[in-house]
Amino acid sequence: MWKIGNIYFIAAVAVIGGALFGFDISSMSAIISTQPYLCQFNQRGHDENGLCLGPTDDVQGGITAAMPGGSWLGALVSGIVSDAFGRKTSIQLGAIIWIIGSVVVCASVNIPMLAIGRVINGFSVGICSAQVPVYISEISPPSKRGRLIGFQQWAITWGILIMFFICYGSSFIPGTAAFRLPWGLQAVPAVLLFLGLVFLPESPRWLAKKDRWEQAVEVLTLIHGKGDPNSPWVIRELSEIREVVEFERANADVSYFELFTPGMINRTQVGVFTQIWSQLTGMNVMMYYITYVFTMAGLSEPGTNAVLLPSGIQFVINVVMTVPALLWMDRWGRRPTLLVGAFLMCFWLCINAGLFAVYGRAPYPGEFTSTAESMAVEGPPAKAIIAATYLFVASFAPTWGPVSWTYPPELFPLRLRGKAVALCTSANWAFNFALAYFVPAAFANITWRVYVIFATFCAAMFLHVFFMFPETANKPLEEIEEMFDDTKPGAIKYIGTPAWKTKNTRNLALRQERNETLSSEEKMGVSGEHKESAA
Ligand code: BGC
């Protein structure tokens, strides 16, 4: 079968999996405040104007959380599926499951059917969100790996935006088509993903692992050798892959458990916390429940969809502000990007907490539909809340968003990468699930203090990154290994080189590419031992 070898094209098809992730994130936010939805899944009767009040907050939390719950499971099992059947096949399986889930959700007539459909959709997103980065990282050249994986985040933000506006457009259609149309349409990209993957090669590393060396050579020749099986690059990669595969054979204990051995546990906690903290920034409060926040800030008119347009603006900001990271992420380095992101988000959350605490009042009876809409703010403070919310999203998008996908695969040696990334991604979904479920109840019960909690998490992640997250940008894999070596002079037991002493070695990497000779300290990028600064 004819296969496509262009790496950008391969990444473009594969990240449709990321778009499905985005679709699911925003498939609820535009719909939960519309009358057709509130009436179809009504549990609370009507208000004095005859408007449907919809599901209870707990149940709405459960419906929203059904997706990340399914994704958690999907991400966890994805490592096993993809090791057994291949990266490509597992993503294709994800596409088929997505189509089934979309049919169930689109046809749902009651809450259980909707929740089950969302679990199925979520399961698919779990597989794709864990295995697309693995597939891309195994197929792309090292110099483009960060950016190509970063495209996954961009696809997520596009997915969120497109779905939100499809839902927004559909909200003008009377009747249940307002939500059935978008939930049905979301199956289309999965069909494209499935068919597109037919023309993409399987990961050469997975083929080699399965002893399908001839096919592995064919793929390497196609994607990196420009058709020449004897090109130096193909030969070098092949021998590297052979070494790794032989190592794995010789070390039968290479499994999930190795992630928890003394030599690996530090990286495992760093990788897992990268994803946990990305959730605990509170970004998904803005993604799932933005209509609640903006309703409290006075942007809604009862019974209309007026709140949707200003909500949609933040999804545009999310897409646009991811671009700088794609362009400059490798130049900035991972540590500064994460530190600046945590600092800025902490700041905007404190502003919002203060504004709601000082200027907020309890809503009048019947003023809003959901009990999660537990405060009301008017005038300039309301405008400031909207601005701080947009700025929060603009702070997440170029920092924790993309780095949370690029950083974990960089931490681990190739032999562990598939399983390690599956574990880190499942942590993303576990926390995503918890937040989706608890945030409405938290707003109802502790109002503006919800913002204080997330601001505290941002401060904690700042410290955690500063002390524990080493710089990986521009470092070849072997040097990342060395950074975690705890037997070197100055290294901390079980940890390796102190994180705050590691630097972005971009200048050095560029010098190395020009074939200049570097000292081993220079290669490690340890501060104080060389004067080279990050580019
Ligand atoms: C996160 C999602 C979030 C999205 C927003 C992703 O990196 O994992 O939970 O909704 O970014 O753009």
pLDDT tens-digit map of 270-282: 999 999 999 999 9
pLDDT band at 254 (very low <50, low <70, confident <90, very high): low
Tell me how far the alpha carbon of residue 207 lies from the centroid of ligand 1, in angstroms: 31
Q: What is the pLDDT of residue 76?
A: 87
pLDDT band at 348 (very low <50, low <70, confident <90, very high): very high
Residue 504 beta carbon below 6 angstroms from any ligand 1 atom? no
Tell me how far the alpha carbon of residue 401 lies from the centroid of ligand 1, in angstroms: 6
Amino acid identity, position 146: G
The atom of ligand 1 lying closest to the CA of 129 is 8
Q: What is the pLDDT of residue 526?
A: 52
Nearest CA to ligand 1 atom 11: 401
The atom of ligand 1 lying closest to the CA of 401 is 7
Query: What whole-number distance in Å separates Cα of residue 116 and Cα of residue 105?
Result: 8
The reported pTM is: 0.86
Q: What is the pLDDT of residue 138?
A: 84
Q: What is the pLDDT of residue 246?
A: 83
Tell me how far the alpha carbon of residue 209 lies from the centroid of ligand 1, in angstroms: 32
pLDDT band at 516 (very low <50, low <70, confident <90, very high): low
Tell me how far the alpha carbon of residue 463 lies from the centroid of ligand 1, in angstroms: 22
Residue 153 beta carbon below 6 angstroms from any ligand 1 atom? yes
Q: Ligand 1 test: best mutation among 129, 156, 290, most atoms within 8 Å of CB?
A: 156
pLDDT band at 253 (very low <50, low <70, confident <90, very high): low
Buried b (16+ CB within 10 A) or exposed e, 141-154: eeeebbbbbbbbbb
Residue 25 beta carbon below 6 angstroms from any ligand 1 atom? yes
Q: What residue spans of 251-333 are helical by DSSP H? A: 265-280, 283-288, 290-296, 308-320, 323-332
Residue 318 beta carbon below 6 angstroms from any ligand 1 atom? yes
Residue with the larger pLDDT of the pair 355 and 236: 355
Q: What is the pLDDT of residue 252?
A: 57
> How far, in whole angstroms, is CA 441 from its chain's centroid?
24
Amino acid identity, position 400: W
Q: Which of 197, 278, 223 is nearest to 454 (CA)?
A: 278
Residue 531 has pLDDT above 60, yes or no: no
CB–CB of 127/78 below 8 Å?
yes
Buried b (16+ CB within 10 A) or exposed e, 57-75: bebbbbbbbbbbbbbbbbb
pLDDT band at 528 (very low <50, low <70, confident <90, very high): very low
Mean pLDDT on 216-231: 87
Residue 529 has pLDDT above 50, yes or no: no
Q: What is the pLDDT of residue 470?
A: 95
Q: What is the pLDDT of residue 514?
A: 56
**Alpha carbon of 304 to those of 46, 51, 290, 295, 372: distances in Å?**
15, 11, 16, 11, 18
Mean pLDDT on 228-234: 84
Residue 229 has pLDDT above 90, yes or no: no
Nearest 10 degrees: CA dihedral of 154, 159, 160, 162? 120
Average pLDDT score, the chain: 87
Nearest CA to ligand 1 atom 1: 401
Task: Work out the percent of the chain whose per-residue pLDDT is above 90.
Answer: 50
For 373, other C-beta atoms within 10 Å of its C-beta total 23
> How far, in whole angstroms, is CA 259 from its chain's centroid?
21
Tell me how far the alpha carbon of residue 228 lies from the centroid of ligand 1, in angstroms: 40
Q: What is the pLDDT of residue 263?
A: 87
Residue 280 beta carbon below 6 angstroms from any ligand 1 atom? no
Residue 287 beta carbon below 6 angstroms from any ligand 1 atom? yes
pLDDT tens for each residue of 82-139: 888 999 999 999 999 999 999 999 999 999 999 999 999 999 999 998 889 889 888 8
Query: What whole-number distance in Å separates Cα of residue 176 and Cα of residue 267?
Result: 48
The atom of ligand 1 lying closest to the CA of 322 is 12
The total number of residues shown for the chain amounts to 535
Residue 513 has pLDDT above 60, yes or no: no
Tell me how far the alpha carbon of residue 515 lies from the centroid of ligand 1, in angstroms: 39
Query: What whole-number distance in Å separates Cα of residue 79 and Cα of residue 100?
Result: 21
The alpha carbon dihedral of 18, 152, 336, 412 has a sign of positive
Least confident of 50-59, 452-461, 473-482: 473-482
pLDDT band at 510 (very low <50, low <70, confident <90, very high): low
Q: Which of 237, 302, 222 is nearest to 34 (CA)?
A: 302
Query: What whole-number distance in Å separates Cα of residue 241 and Cα of residue 260?
Result: 24
Q: Ligand 1 test: best mutation among 23, 163, 283, 326, most atoms within 8 Å of CB?
A: 283
Residue 178 has pLDDT above 80, yes or no: yes
Amino acid identity, position 427: A
Tokens for 23, please give them: 């679709």
Residue 425 beta carbon below 6 angstroms from any ligand 1 atom? no
Query: What whole-number distance in Å separates Cα of residue 512 and Cα of residue 208?
Result: 29
Mean pLDDT on 513-524: 58
Nearest CA to ligand 1 atom 7: 401
CB–CB of 167/27 below 8 Å?
yes
Residue 114 beta carbon below 6 angstroms from any ligand 1 atom? no
Residue 476 has pLDDT above 60, yes or no: yes
Q: Ligand 1 test: best mutation among 23, 157, 164, 284, most atoms within 8 Å of CB?
A: 284
Q: What is the pLDDT of residue 450?
A: 95
pLDDT band at 532 (very low <50, low <70, confident <90, very high): very low
Nearest CA to ligand 1 atom 10: 284
- As a whole number of Å, the CA-based R_g of the chain is 24
Highest mean pLDDT among 45-59, 318-332, 389-403: 389-403
Least confident of 69-78, 402-411, 447-456, 473-482: 473-482
Residue 274 beta carbon below 6 angstroms from any ligand 1 atom? no
Tell me how far the alpha carbon of residue 402 lies from the centroid of ligand 1, in angstroms: 9
Least confident of 154-163, 312-321, 514-523: 514-523
Query: What whole-number distance in Å separates Cα of residue 133 and Cα of residue 11?
Result: 9
Could you say which DSSP state residue 109 is in?
Answer: -
The atom of ligand 1 lying closest to the CA of 397 is 12
